Structure formats: C-alpha cells, structure tokens
Amino acid sequence: MSYGQGGPQSQWDPWTPQSQQPWKSGDDDGTPDWAALADASENRKKRRKVLLIAGGVLATGAIGTAVAMAVSNAGGDSRAGGPSSLPATASLPGGTATTAPSFAPTSAPPPLDPKDFIASANKDTAPLSPETLFPGTQLTMGETVYKKGATSDSKDCASGAGGTLAQALAAGKCTRLMRVSYVKDGVAVTVGVAVFDNDTDAQRFKDRADKKSIVAALPGKGVKAFCDSAICRSTTNTLGRYAYFTIAGFTNGKDVTTKDTKVFAAGNDLAQFSFRQIRRRGEAQASAAANQ
C-alpha cells in the first residue's frame, strides 16, 4: 500500500529546483545512499568545470572578436566608406602631404624708364663732360679704329656753331656745347653735343634747325683743318634733352660727293656712338635709382 501520490519517484537533479535527493530503492531503513550522493557531488564538480572552461572559451572568443573589429576599423575599408574610416593622410597632423602656400596678390613697381633720366636736368645729374661721353684716345666701331683728336667744352653754344645752328641753339636755350674730333685715313669727323635743360627745349631747337644748321669742325691734336670751305657731309639729331651733330670731310680740302662712302660711314659711326652714349647715361642712372 502506498501513501501520497503514485507513480515513479522523481530523479534528483542538483541543477533543477524542487527536485528531490535520490534514495535507495526498496525497503530500507531511511538512511541516505551516501554512494549516490558522492557520485552526484562529483558530477556537479565536473559540470561546473566544463561550464567554466566553456565560459573562458566564449570570453576569449569575444575578446578576439572585439580586437579583430578594432583592427578592422583602424585599418579602414575603402569599400565600406563608412564613418569609421580614418581621414586622409593630408588632413592628419604631421602628414607628409602639403599644399601650395597662398599669398596675397602683389604688383611689382614698374621699371624705371631711362628716357626719364635724360629728359630733364633735374634727373640727369650724372657727371657730364667730353671725356665721359667720348672716353679714351681712340674709338673702335666694328673693325674701324678712329684716332681721337682735339676736344672742346663751352657754355657759349654759338662759339662752336656754323650756318644757322647758332640761332637754333639759342631758340632752345642751349646751355652747353661739347665737341670732339676723330680721324682715319685722311677722313676727319667732328661730333658735337648740345645740352638743354629739358626735352621740351630740345624739341624747340629741333623745330628751328635746318640743313644749314652745321656744327663747326674742330681741328687739333693730329687732326688737320677740314671743312673750312669744302663741301662736307653733316647730320643733326636729338635724344632727350640733348642734340648731337656730325660734320665729316677730307683733311686735304676735297669736296665730299655721294660716292665717298668712307666719309658717310665715318659720320654715321660717330652719330651712332653719340646716340649710344647718351642712351647709356639714362640706363645707368635708371639702374642706380632702382637699386637705392
């Protein structure tokens, strides 16, 4: 005869609440089955150890996964393009990429014009004399060498003028007239340079000058008298506040004709050299002023 509920006795599970401990089956004296209890205890220890090992493996896996995710995020994925990607090297502090510097626009001052320095006595202050314009004892133009003769420098511009030149120089208020002569193979040339206060006065002279405005030939220092009464070839030009002239002819008194190419060449050489020397004055003074 049984008491209580019928059916088989429930098995005791140490991990299941409300389960009952196992007892020896059959008729006994109610004493616990110590062997069964020992086995159950041993089983609980093994299960706890297995659970602890499994938990450690899971934790290690989770840490590895987290590290892998962090490494993946740190390396960036060009395909993903997500917000976890690092910025480009150029935007990182200390990166090697550089950008071109930006500067505010500036404007360089315009170059100084050499013509300005030979247009007025106020700027044209460099030393001036026959020696500064025509230095040395000879002049070489290409393969031709001219020997230098006498020189003249006067504030009385009319003293070295011939024909109508004196009146033209007076109209421009000439302040100085310098002359230098050269000779080669019986052909002599006198070059004259008249000085005015400004290019306006030089233009006034130019307006008054004509074919009879001739500079007077200057003999001396190895240059015989020439162009006293013979026909000679002459030129007249202006540059800035200067006017420059040439008169060329034979030292033997022969008249010059259009066939006398040596006379024309000598006059052209001296006229060209005079132009260069006056222009160089302007260039030298403009360069000096720019470097101050």
**pLDDT > 70? residue 201:** yes
- pLDDT band at residue 291 under the 50/70/90 scheme: confident
Torsion angle, alpha carbons of 83, 84, 89, 90, to 10: 20
Higher pLDDT, 291 or 245: 245
**pLDDT > 50? residue 23:** no
Structural tokens at position 169:
């120089």
Closest C-alpha among 265, 287, 269, 288 to residue 277: 269
Instruction: Count the alpha carbons within 13 Å of 5 in the hemisphere toward its beta carbon.
Output: 4
pLDDT on residue 73: 47
- pLDDT band at residue 83 under the 50/70/90 scheme: very low
The terminus-to-terminus CA distance of the chain in angstroms comes to: 135
User: What are the C-alpha distances in Å from 127 to residues 14, 132, 285?
Assistant: 124, 7, 11
Higher pLDDT, 32 or 84: 32
Q: How far apart are CA 102 and CA 99, in angstroms?
A: 9
Average pLDDT over all residues of the chain: 80
pLDDT on residue 67: 44
**pLDDT > 60? residue 197:** yes
- DSSP states along 206-241: HHH--TTEEEPP---SS----SSSS--EEEEEEETT
Residue pLDDT, tens place only, 180-194 = 999 999 999 999 999
Domain boundary assignment for the chain: 118-290
Contact 185, 150 (CB under 8 A): no
Percent of the chain with pLDDT over 70: 62
Structural tokens at position 282:
């302007």
pLDDT on residue 292: 79
Instruction: Count the alpha carbons within 13 Å of 235 in the hemisphere toward its beta carbon.
Output: 22
pLDDT on residue 71: 44
Instruction: Count the alpha carbons within 13 Å of 77 in the hemisphere toward its beta carbon.
Output: 11
pLDDT on residue 48: 61
pLDDT on residue 34: 53
Q: How far is CA 275 from the centre of its chain?
A: 33
pLDDT on residue 49: 58
Higher pLDDT, 175 or 105: 175
Parallel, antiparallel, or unpaired: how do β-strands 233-239 and 242-250 relate? Answer: antiparallel
- pLDDT band at residue 45 under the 50/70/90 scheme: low
- pLDDT band at residue 96 under the 50/70/90 scheme: low
pLDDT on residue 111: 76
Residue pLDDT, tens place only, 221-264 = 999 999 999 999 999 999 999 999 999 999 999 999 999 999 99
Closest C-alpha among 176, 175, 165, 247 to residue 206: 165
Alpha helices for the chain (secondary structure H):
34-75, 114-117, 130-133, 165-171, 199-208, 261-290
Task: Determine the average pLDDT of the residues in 267-290.
Answer: 96
Q: How far apart are CA 190 and CA 249, in angstroms?
A: 9
CB atoms within 10 A of CB 84: 12
Structural tokens at position 292:
């101050």
Higher pLDDT, 89 or 100: 100
Sign of the C-alpha dihedral computed for residues 163, 164, 168 and 174 taken in this order:
positive
- pLDDT band at residue 6 under the 50/70/90 scheme: very low
pLDDT on residue 40: 63
